[in-house]
Amino acid sequence: MTKLERLLGYLIFTRAWTRSFVRSEFKRVTTYIDALFAMHPDGKGQSACVVMLGNTLVHEVSQTENCNKKLD
Amino acid sequence: MTYFFEGEQVEDFLMDLGHLMGATDFVTDVHLVYQDNKSTMAMVTTGGGKPRTKYIKVREEYLRKRLKTWEVVLEYISIKQMLADSLTKPLGGEMYHTMTQKLLGGHHYECLNNMGAKGKLDIQMSDSVSIDGIAPVLALLTCSNHTLVQPSKKHGTKCVLNESAKHKQHIS
């Protein structure tokens, strides 16, 4: 129940957050790539990618890695 | 390295879109890739690391070739400026808000003040364009899946081997 309340609180607080296209020069595509090793309890990692066109978010991916961390 | 290809595909798509629209100065600069891990960058630039699998080696070579011909620029960025951080790790309040603000266009704080009764944004007050007005373009551009990252419990050095296994083996 605590988790549900927290989730609902987050959704209510962020319901006005929308993605905006900012006026800027669309000349360069910038990719931000980040990964976190073995952050999940089952030993899997998390990786994410954000593609920006100028100052505008165009594409984003966030997914759990398929392979587990190699445990000794 | 997989995401590098993803960025490249998006760049190609946007360039094609620019050509279709007849824009001459649309995506003319070099594709810039930001990475916050120096050892990963060294794997590509100087050939460091020990790749244990063949497919990583192939991707490395491809990316290295692109870097040599200056079709792609790989640059280091600090963790505080890494926008993809909010999609990988559970950040703190202020950091999360800063990152989300940058990702969403940096105007949702203004929009919160300019909101109407039904939650629709006042476009004239903001410098940016609302998403509702350009829905067809949005449908083309945002064809990605967004996954919420659940904040994980701090397990320290202990890590569960397999979630499905009944006997949880902890390593220290």
Residues of A (18-57) whose Cβ lies below 8 Å from B: 18-23, 25-36, 38-43, 46-53, 55-57
Please give the interface size between A and B, counted as residue pairs whose CB atoms are below 8 Å apart: 185
Q: A19 and B31: CB-CB below 8 Å? A: no
- Backbone φ, ψ for residue A32 (5° rounding): -110, 120
Best A3, A13, A19 member to test B by mutation, with max B CBs in 10 Å, is A19
Answer yes or no: pTM beyond 0.90: no
Residue B76: the pLDDT is 92
Would B138 be classed as within a structural domain? no
Would B157 be classed as within a structural domain? no
DSSP-assigned letters across all residues of B113-148? HH--TTS---TTTSSSBPGGGGHHHHHHH------P
> Is this complex scored with an ipTM above 0.90?
no
Per-residue pLDDT tens over the stretch B90-145: 888 788 888 888 888 765 444 444 444 344 433 333 444 444 444 444 444 443 33
Would B15 be classed as within a structural domain? yes
Would B25 be classed as within a structural domain? yes
Q: Compute the distance between CA of residue B163 and CA of residue B172 in angstroms, rounded to an integer.
A: 17
A3 reaches B (C-beta below 8 A): no
Q: What is the identity of the amino acid at B160?
A: V
Would B158 be classed as within a structural domain? no
User: Which pair of tokens denotes residue B106?
Assistant: 């940096």
Would B98 be classed as within a structural domain? yes
Domain residue limits at B69: 2-131
Total domain count, chain B: 1
Per-residue pLDDT tens over the stretch B26-47: 777 888 899 888 888 888 888 7
